[in-house]
Amino acid sequence: MAEEDGIAELVEFAQSYSSSAVAIKQALVSLDENQDGDSVTRVALLLTEPHGDTWEVDDIIEMRQALRRRATELSLPPVTLTLVAESERDAIDAFAQ
């Protein structure tokens, strides 16, 4: 599978993900290198607003694990996540570059 296909499938998977506490409104995915020169899959997620001050840790861990598992299934490099609340929609554009 080409990397572009894997990226598209990861975006589709992310945007279809939801739980009782969190839903992904938008996903931006790109391949990049970390500071050590290792390949990484950068994922920026625009999430629905949390029900309280912030999202529950267990819900975020579950979402992260699901995305990482899917990226592995698609033979993509390890995933790094950036989470942005819907009220901060403009901030996600900074991660798209």
| pTM higher than the cut 0.85 | no
Using CA atoms, how far apart are residues 73 and 59, in angstroms rounded to an integer?
21
Angle at 2 between CA 26 and CA 12, to 5 degrees: 20
Residue-level pLDDT at 95: 57
Residue-level pLDDT at 66: 95
β-partners of residue 83 are 45
Residue-level pLDDT at 16: 93
Q: Which amino acid is at 85?
A: A
Domains of the chain: 3-95 (3.30.300)
Task: Extract the residue ranges of the chain whose pLDDT is less than 70.
Answer: 1, 91-97
Give yes or no for a contact between 44 and 25, defined as CB atoms under 8 angstroms apart: no
